[in-house]
Amino acid sequence: MYSRRRGRELALKLLYGLDVLPRDVDATLEEFWSMTRYPQAVREFATQLVRGTWLHKDEIDQFISKNSINWSLDRMAIVDRNILRCAVYELLYEEVIPPKVTINEALDISKKYSTPKSSAFINGILDHIHHTLTPHKPSRPPASPKSRKSSKPRNPRSRSKKNRHDSDPA
């Protein structure tokens, strides 16, 4: 959805500003919205992401730190750190949004606003966090060879032609 993508991009910009120059979130939002014009749905979603991410920043930063091997938060690029924060907020607190959508959106935004290598870095951390949060499903035993079906769709015409040619002595 375009309005959500735009909301995430605006949230990233606002979180970046708060990360560089920490100040009151509500004052930052009020000032930003007074200088810009966006549809109400975009404003509401961006505001929700910024407030939620900033409110839970310490917990979110712990999740990121635990799941980023050999990378401390202060070593990460500011853009990457805030893309991760916003996405982890969504994974933890926005149950309506499917995790795969959150991760894909974060990757698309990182491709637009960060370095070429950032999307792989962000994907690795978010994927690990997602798997940590998702309970493991019990594994099913593999199907026996007799019960396995071909993954190719059956086409009766091609099958009958094949059989006709196989029995042809010529």
- Give the pLDDT confidence score for residue 74 in this predicted structure: 93
Mean pLDDT is lowest, of 49-53, 67-71, 121-125, 158-162, for 158-162
Higher pLDDT, 29 or 137: 29
Buried/exposed 142-160: b ≥16 CB within 10 Å, e otherwise: eeeeeeeeeeeeeeeeeee
Tell me the CATH number of domain 2-133, given options 3.40.50.1820, 1.25.40.10, 3.30.450.20, 1.10.940.10: 1.10.940.10
Which residue did the predictor score with more confidence, 170 or 59?
59
pLDDT per residue as tens digits for the range 34-51: 999 999 999 999 999 999
The pLDDT of residue 52 is above 50: yes
More confident residue, 167 or 15: 15
What does the pLDDT read at residue 44?
97
Can you give the pLDDT at residue 90? 98
pTM: 0.78
| Backbone torsions φ then ψ of 22, nearest 5 degrees | -60, 130
- With beta carbons less than 8 A apart as the criterion, state whether 7 and 49 touch: yes
DSSP 62: H
Confidence tier at 61 by pLDDT (50, 70, 90): very high
Residue spans of the domains in the chain: they are 2-133
CB atoms within 10 A of CB 62: 13
Q: Which of 67, 73, 79 is nearest to 109 (CA)?
A: 79
Mean pLDDT over the full length of the chain: 85
Tally of CB atoms within 10 A around 32: 18
Position 7 pLDDT exceeds 90: yes
Give the DSSP letter string of 74-133: GGS-HHHHHHHHHHHHHHHH-TTS-HHHHHHHHHHHHHHHS-TTHHHHHHHHHHHHHHHH
pLDDT tens readout for residues 120-151: 999 999 999 999 988 754 444 445 445 444 44
CB 3, CB 45: distance < 8 Å: yes
